[in-house]
Structure 1
Amino acid sequence: MKIKWIVMMMLLSFLTFQSTADAAKAKQEGKPKVPSSVLNIGKENTYPNPTQDLPYLQPSDLTQELIETSEVEIENPNLIRMLNESTMNKTPFSIGLRATIYLGEWPLNYESSETATNWEYQRVNTNFYDNRGGKGNYQIHYVQESQKVIKGGLTAKVSKADDVKKMMLLSAMEKTALPLSFQTIVGAGTKKDQVYHIPSKRLGYLYSYAPAVNEKGKVTYGEVYLMMKGTKKMIVVKNITSQGIGAWIPVQDHLSFGFLTSEQPR
């Protein structure tokens, strides 16, 4: 009996240590733990949201060579795409060539400082039943009463906002491992089978919320020049500025549910 008790205590200690280590690891990685009240409605959603797929654009060999000459980090996918589409061939006359080409002012990179998740960002639906005259429990489940569009966006006006949103979205998706999009839609008639019980003599409210990620950080701008001196090619960035920026980015095809009962209408 004593040996059995010792084994049980050792097992309990190991499980506690493992749980603590896993929690610390998750916190260190910065990826939020999805609460049990949050459910995936991707299969049930009557509105098929397009998959938000924003892979990191792979620079070509020439683009990578140019990026490495810049003193400022360049991660804007649209700027990388433009450089990828450029070609520069060596010719016998390029030895004495000198040229400076202005490529415009660009948001060059985004540096995240805080990523937080609001699981009740926006209420999208309320299912209600009055069971005050009932003699037993009444079961209700989630049914979306009308189509709901959930929009995110930047918290301030910035130049080339679409480029900034794309970089912030990439950063937030990497940090949270959540399916994020600046717009997601919950279709009318979307259902979930999970049952909630309303006791007799009470009213029941099932609230549904769209979660979203609040992303905050800093975007760096600069005037980008392509310079060529003979066979050498380089990128020079001038007039560098930085601006703090934030964004709300909804979590696609996920809802957070809150259920309560009361004796009086709310």
Structure 2
Amino acid sequence: MTRHTLQGRDDAELLWFRRRGMLRAAAAWTTLGGFAAAWAQQRSNVVELVGDAQVNGRRATPATAIQTGDAVETGPGSNLVFVIGTTAFQVRQNSRLVVERGATLHSVGVLRLLTGAVASVWGRGPHRTIVTPTLTAGIRGTGVYTEVFPAQASRSYFCNCYGTVELQAGRDRAVSRADYHQSFWGEAEPKAGRLLTPAQAINHTDEELEFLARLVDQRTTWQVLGRKGVKDGNGSMDENPAQARPASAR
């Protein structure tokens, strides 16, 4: 597995994609035709649920259908993987989020993460948004990891694992273009006068993004290019990129 740095989480949370049950569930999801077939056949779009989760305040089961507009909450030790349209989500334990409707019933327009963490892969489509207490990210087709740290006044972490993302924290704005993990903090309080600051790549792996991409018939940029960069949060395939990171300067 690729190198990763942990902050407030452990390896077990990042190894969900290795479980036999998850592998069987993902194979069945793909074989049965993915989201379009699940919706047409009125089947659940939950690929795997381990532990306790709630959807709109009601306990979720593997047969639950999660729709745009739903509020989702996971409990301690839980893991939830689901797909809506061309977007795949992996929700870590102790998370609360809302998937708001986009242009159609089967497209997510806004992912509003209140606390916890979500890895997600978004297929190409219209402008969509991820919102945390301290950061907003406008995305199109990309793979990202988002986490909110309630013990740090809801300081938010955001990694543009690949693709192009427009970021905003307070008055600070940046356009992130990444082939391989470009990471940011959305600060709760200014640091050196800034609310959007550079970060290291933490708490997620390449394999998680690759797994989610397969669920929606996608591939990550590093899979397409056949190579990887240095996972230091810079976002480049080069160890010493020519351009400065977008959150490093005004």
Relative to the length of structure 2, the TM-score reads 0.22
Larger radius of gyration: 1
Relative to the length of structure 1, the TM-score reads 0.21
Which protein has the bigger helix share? 1
Which of structures 1 and 2 has the larger relative contact order (alpha carbons within 8 angstroms, sep 6+)? 1
